[in-house]
Every structure is written in structure tokens, then in C-alpha cells.
Structure 1
Amino acid sequence: MAWTKYQLFLAGLMLVTGSINTLSAKWADRFSVKGCGESPEHLFNHPFLQAVGMFLGEFSCLAVFYILRCRAAGSPDGSMENQQHFSPLLFLPPALCDMTGTSIMYVALTMTSASSFQMLRGSVIIFTGLFSVGFLGRRLAPSQWLGILTTIAGLVIVGLADLLNKHDDQHKLSDVITGDLLIIMAQIIISVQMVLEEKFVYKHDVHPLRAVGTEGLFGFVILALLLVPMNYIPAGPLSGSPRGTLEDVPDAVCQVGRQPLIALALLGNISSIAFFNFAGVSVTKELSATTRMVLDSLRTVAIWAVSLALGWESFQALQILGFLVLLAGTALYNGLHRPLLSCLTRGRAPADEDERERLLGASRTTINDAS
């Protein structure tokens, strides 16, 4: 069945905004500008401030939700009105996990390439699968265990490609190793977030946009308040500020004032995460979860291609193998092999009703899913 123009638009919107989300954050990291006073020129290394912007983008999903609810108010089904009552505090624990994981990922993005960052985020299925067994009592199918093992192999290959790759002055080998490990650590925290969402949020049948927006509200408020003490906490080598603190908001403001393109990159990050979440919900609803997974994989290819074209990283053939292995692991875990086998054995396309799934059960993009 051919896609409609609206479905093509949604697929394109998800692919473009998802790619912009990571690329805009990396673009901001690459600017080297003087800060306040007589401070020397230095990179725009403000991951926690960027994370606040990301949560502002998620928070805007609440506005989209209420707009859609107003439009649906006069419809016969009232699908957005017939939801269970729930306490917004239900979203606080997963929001705290999202805040921690996203902040760590933004720190990691300053240390490694955009393509490796995106590929290593695929490790989330490993920990989500293991935690769903341990905490939700689920039983994984043999193909899902095989998908987890395949994903682990893909991560090893991508990590090896990072070690063999020639990095520029902004990406020292020690930083790349640290960044890769931080990405894996962040995915563990994001996996806990997903388990919490499934255990406490799904049973209340909360609309995905409302869930994302409410988590964004909590993340934005809490992390914005934490920026104040971060301006005084020494961070040593992890700090990108001339003052050596964990975060330096005045320094970031001065750098943005000296280089307005940084503001454009930050605005691209904020707006793209909002549109990406909306497109992700709509693609899952209008098409299927499998289509969303494929588009997310294409996003990785787009980020890699743009990074190579802009000279942000050098080509490494081993990275192609790592990406293909990660793609195979993700496909096995999400059951993509079943419709393919069904098509081959029965000679007909299977129905895609079983492919439908909720946004929060799919891959998140806090730099998105990320982010």
C-alpha cells in the first residue's frame, strides 16, 4: 500500500528533525570563542545548559498535546479526552532518570564524534531487555536474546573503530574512550527510565505527547535550578569553563554574544526535539513501529554522512560494519525478522497491526530518541 503525502511528510519530518537534533548539538560544541572578560578562546563546552534546552523542547510537546486535544474535543470518539486521571508526580522518577542520562550524553558528545554517539545509543536495547526481565518479570524470546548479543558485538566494533580512527585536536583518544563509556552509562540510566515509564505510566493510558511534555517540564525546572550550584562546583578536567566549574552559565552567555551562530545551533536543538517527538508519535500511529525503527536507523546514516561531508570526522570503514551489526541486533530485538520471514515463506505481506507501539516503548530521542 502506497504512503499518503501526509505519511511521507511525517517520515521526512522525523528523519530531518532527528538528524538536526544531534548535529545542532555537535555544531554548538565545535565553536571556539572567547568568554567573559579576558578569558582565552575556548570551545563551547556547556552540556548541562544544552540539556536544559533539550528539556525545554520536550516541554513544548505539552502545548502540542493541548492543541490536539482542543481539536479533538468536537470529534465523536473524543480519544484524547477519555484518559484516566493520574498524578503528574508519576512522571518525576522517569524524569530524573531522563535528566541524568541526557546530561551525561551531552557531556559525552563533547568527547566523541556525532556518528559514534548516535550508533552507541543503540546499546539501550541491551539494558532495557535485561531490566524488563529483572524488574517486570518478562520473558525474552530467543531472537531478542540473539539481538542483545548481536548489539553487544556491534558496540565492540564501533568502539574499536573509534580507537583506530584519526581524531582531530578536539577529540583526543582518551576523551573518545571516556565519551564512549559515558554514552553506555547514560543508556543504562535511560533504560531504567523506560522500565519506570512502562511500569507506572502505561497503565494510566497517558497520551505519549503528554508524557514527554510532563517529563520535559520536570527536567527543565529541576536542571535549570541545578545550574545555579553548578556554577560553583569545581569539575577539574571535566570542565570546559576557564573557571574550572561544572557549568558556567555567564561564560556561555558571553560566548553566545560573541558568536550568534551558537544561538542558532541551540535553537535548532530545542525546536528539533519538539518536532521529532511529535513526528515519532505520528509515525508510530500512522504507519508502524517498524517504520519508526527504520527511520531512526536512517537518521544515524544521515548524521554520519553530514559529519563526513563537513569534515567533522574522518572515514573509518570498520564503522560501517559496526553500524550494520547494530542494525541487525536492533532488528532482531524488535522482531523485524518475523515479517520478513513471513513474506518469504507465505509470499504475502503480513498485517502491521502488531507492529503498533507507544512512543515511550520505542527508542527515545532525548538527543533524544534524546534527547
Structure 2
Amino acid sequence: MAWTNYQLFLAGLMLTTGSINTLSAKWADMFSARGCNNSPDHSFSHPFVQAVGMFLGELCCLAAFHILLCHDKRRTEPSMNAGRSFNPLLFLPPALCDMTATCIMYVALNMTSASSFQMLRGAVIIFTGLLSVAFLGRRLVVSQWVGILITILGLVVVGLADFMSGQKNDARNLSDILTGDLLIIMAQVIAAVQMVLEEKFVYKHDVHPLRAVGTEGFFGFFILSLLLIPFFYIPVGGFSNNPRHVLEDALDAFCQIGQNPMIILALLGNTVSIAFFNFAGISVTKEISATTRMVLDSLRTVVIWVVSLALGWETFHGLQVLGFIVLLVGAALYNNLHTHLLAKIPSCAHLVRKGEDEVDVATAEAAERERLLDGGRVEEQS
């Protein structure tokens, strides 16, 4: 079935804004400017300020939700499902996970390349799969376990590519690259916890996706903004690149922005792109399919890599290409993309139906366990 113009627009918007999001964050890291009190030129190394900007973008999704809701209510036949009322504090635990993971990733982006950053984020598949088995009672099919193993192999290949590129430079640069890669993978563990928490406690309340993203953005923006105050006084020695060597020097960030206004352009690119990326991603899932969203998310890794090469931000490494292909295969298997391809082949259609039946049985078993657990909790409370 051919895509409509609107579906093509959504796919292009998701691919473009998703790529801009990572590239603009890396672009901000590459600027240098004088700080407060005429301190000498130094790189713009302010991951927590950048994270605040990202959460501001997510907060904009909440505003977009209310605008769309008001517009829908004015129609003669409203069609927008606003979802049931809920306690916003349900979003606090996943928001804290999102805040922690985002801050760690922005710290890591200062140390490694934009393309490796995007590729290594694929590690979230591994931890999401394992945690969903442990805490959601889900049973993964064989193809998903194979996808997890292939993803691990892809991470190893990307890590080797970064190791070989770091060896060409000084030892400190190699240490930074490997530390950055490890931080990204560690952040994916926290991101996987966030996804499990959302599925376990949030999505069963029928919350509109834009409202969910915006509520998490609300908590992340205000909590992290307040944390910038104690971060200003916490010394971290050589770990930080700001002149005062504290965890985050927000005043230094604003002084650098004043000295070089181009930095604010990069920060705005990050904020605006994350808002439109969330909107486009949710819309692609609704208008086309979740599989298409996964494919587009993988394609933006290619866009980020190609643009980084074209701008001279990094050099070409064949191992990185191999790593991306392996990661793509792992993600495709985990998300059952192969079943969609096999379903188009008449001789393989029965295999697809058999695999879908296995997934349905596993899902039903998990739902029954959840129902029994909920019943046990009610009995205990009574």
C-alpha cells in the first residue's frame, strides 16, 4: 500500500529531526568561547545544561497535547482520545530514569563521536529484553534472543572501531573514547529500566503518548534545573572541562553563549528537534507502524554518520560500517521485522502465523500472571 503525502511527511520529519537532535548536541560540544570573568577560550562542555534544554523540548509536547485537544474539542465530532485521568506522580520514577540516562549520555557525547553515540544506543534492546523477562513476565521468542546476541556482537564491533581510531591519537583521547562508550551503554541500562517502568505502571492507564512524554519532560526540566544549583558547587577535579572544575557551571555556559551566539543556535536545534522528533515518532507509529518507526530510527544513524564524515567531525572506519550492519540485523530480529518480510512470501506465511501464535500465547500468559498478582494484592489489602 502506497504511503500518503502526510505519512511521507511524518517519516521525513522523524528522520530529519532525529538526526538533527544528535548532530546539534555534538555541534554545541565543538564550540569554544571565553567564559565568565574573561576566562580563556575553552570548549562548551555543559552536558547538564544541554539535558535541561532537551527536557524543555519534551515539555513542549505537553503544550502540543493541550493545543491539539482544544482544537479537537471545537470540532463537531471530536475524535482525539485524551485518555483517562491519572496521578502525574506515576511519571516521576521513569522521569528520574530518563533524566539520569540523558545526563550520562550527554557527558559521553563529549568523549566520543556522534555516530558511535547513536549506534551504541542500540544496546537498549539487550537490557529492555532481559528486564521485560525478569519483571514483566514476558517470554521472548527465539528470534528475539538471537537479536539480543547479535546486538551484543555489534556493540563489540563498534567498540573495536572506536578503540582502533583512538589508538591513532594520544592515550588520553583513547581513554576518553572508551569511557564515553561505556557510559553510553550504562545509560542504556537506565533507559531500559525507564521503559519497563512505563510499561508496568504508566501505559496501562491509557495515557496519550504526547501527554506522557510532556509529563516526563515537566519533571525532568524542573528537577534538573534545580539540581544545577548544587552542581555549581560540587568539585569533580579533572573529570570536568569547565574552568572551575565543578560538576556543572551553568553561569559559565551562559557566559560562553554570550561570547558566541552560535552556541544558542545549536542548543535551540536540540530543544526544538526533540519536540518534533517525539511528535513525529508517535505519529509514525499511529499512522504507519511501529516497525516503520524502528527502521527510520536506524536510518537516522546512517544520516548522522554520513553528515559527521562530510563535516570532517570523524574519519571513515570500515569496522564501524560492519558494526552498524550487525546492530541493524539485531534490532530487526528483536523487533520481528523479518516476519513482515516473510509474510509477503506465500510459502512462508504459515511460519509467520506460527511465530505470531507463540507471541500471543506468551503475552496471554504474562497478562494472566499479572492478573493473578493484582488479585493477590487486593486480597492482602482487604
| 1:333 and 2:330 correspond | no
> Which residue of the partner structure matches residue 277 of structure 1?
278
> Which residue of the partner structure matches residue 215 of structure 1?
216
Deviation readout 1:51-97 (Å, 9 max, x if unpaired): 0000000000011111111222235364324x222100000000000
> Which residue of the partner structure matches residue 129 of structure 2?
129
> Which residue of the partner structure matches residue 188 of structure 1?
189
Residues in 2 aligned to 1:298 and 1:193: alpha-carbon distance in whole angstroms:
24
Deviation readout 1:221-277 (Å, 9 max, x if unpaired): 000000000000001122111101000011111110111100000000000000000
Residues in 2 aligned to 1:327 and 1:311: alpha-carbon distance in whole angstroms:
24
Deviation readout 1:117-163 (Å, 9 max, x if unpaired): 00000000100000001111111111100000000000000000001
Are the structure 2 counterparts of residues 89 and 314 from structure 1 closer, same or farther at C-alpha, using a change threshold of 3 Å?
A: same
- The Cα of 1:346 is off from its aligned counterpart by 4.1
Are the structure 2 counterparts of residues 330 and 75 from structure 1 closer, same or farther at C-alpha, using a change threshold of 3 Å?
A: farther
- The Cα of 1:40 is off from its aligned counterpart by 1.8
| More displaced 10-residue stretch of structure 1: 110-119 or 31-40 | 31-40
- Superposed, 1:63-142 pairs within 5 Å as 63-73=63-73, 74=75, 76=77, 78-81=79-82, 83-142=83-142
Deviation readout 1:286-325 (Å, 9 max, x if unpaired): 1111111111111000000000000000000110000000
Q: Residue type of the partner of 1:216?
A: G
TM value normalised by structure 1: 0.91
Q: May I ask how many residue pairs the two structures share in their alignment?
A: 350
Residues in 1 aligned to 2:51 and 2:274: alpha-carbon distance in whole angstroms:
11
Structure with greater helix share of residues: 2
- The Cα of 1:171 is off from its aligned counterpart by 8.0
> Which residue of the partner structure matches residue 150 of structure 2?
150
Residues in 1 aligned to 2:326 and 2:79: alpha-carbon distance in whole angstroms:
43
Residues in 2 aligned to 1:293 and 1:268: alpha-carbon distance in whole angstroms:
23
Q: Is the contact between residue 35 and residue 41 of structure 2 (CA under 8 Å) also seen in structure 1?
A: yes
> Which residue of the partner structure matches residue 368 of structure 1?
none
- Superposed, 1:1-371 pairs within 5 Å as 1-73=1-73, 74=75, 76=77, 78-81=79-82, 83-165=83-165, 172-346=173-347
Q: Residue type of the partner of 1:330?
A: A
Residues in 1 aligned to 2:114 and 2:76: alpha-carbon distance in whole angstroms:
43
Q: Is the contact between residue 111 and residue 171 of structure 1 (CA under 8 Å) also seen in structure 2?
A: no
Residues in 2 aligned to 1:171 and 1:4: alpha-carbon distance in whole angstroms:
51
| More displaced 10-residue stretch of structure 1: 33-42 or 296-305 | 33-42
Q: Residue type of the partner of 1:26?
A: K
Residues in 1 aligned to 2:262 and 2:38: alpha-carbon distance in whole angstroms:
21
Q: Is the contact between residue 25 and residue 266 of structure 2 (CA under 8 Å) also seen in structure 1?
A: yes
> Which residue of the partner structure matches residue 358 of structure 1?
none
Are the structure 2 counterparts of residues 170 and 36 from structure 1 closer, same or farther at C-alpha, using a change threshold of 3 Å?
A: farther
Q: Residue type of the partner of 1:119?
A: M
> Which residue of the partner structure matches residue 361 of structure 2?
none
- The Cα of 1:344 is off from its aligned counterpart by 2.7
- The Cα of 1:33 is off from its aligned counterpart by 1.2
Q: Is the contact between residue 342 and residue 348 of structure 2 (CA under 8 Å) also seen in structure 1?
A: no
Q: Is the contact between residue 111 and residue 179 of structure 1 (CA under 8 Å) also seen in structure 2?
A: yes
Q: Residue type of the partner of 1:282?
A: S
Question: Which structure would you say has the larger Rg?
Answer: 2
Aligned sequence identity (%): 70
| More displaced 10-residue stretch of structure 1: 234-243 or 168-177 | 168-177
Q: Aligned to 1:343, what secondary structure does the other structure show?
A: coil
- The Cα of 1:26 is off from its aligned counterpart by 0.2
Residues in 2 aligned to 1:220 and 1:6: alpha-carbon distance in whole angstroms:
31
Residues in 2 aligned to 1:212 and 1:342: alpha-carbon distance in whole angstroms:
33
Q: Residue type of the partner of 2:72?
A: A
Residues in 1 aligned to 2:301 and 2:44: alpha-carbon distance in whole angstroms:
24
Q: Residue type of the partner of 1:152?
A: I
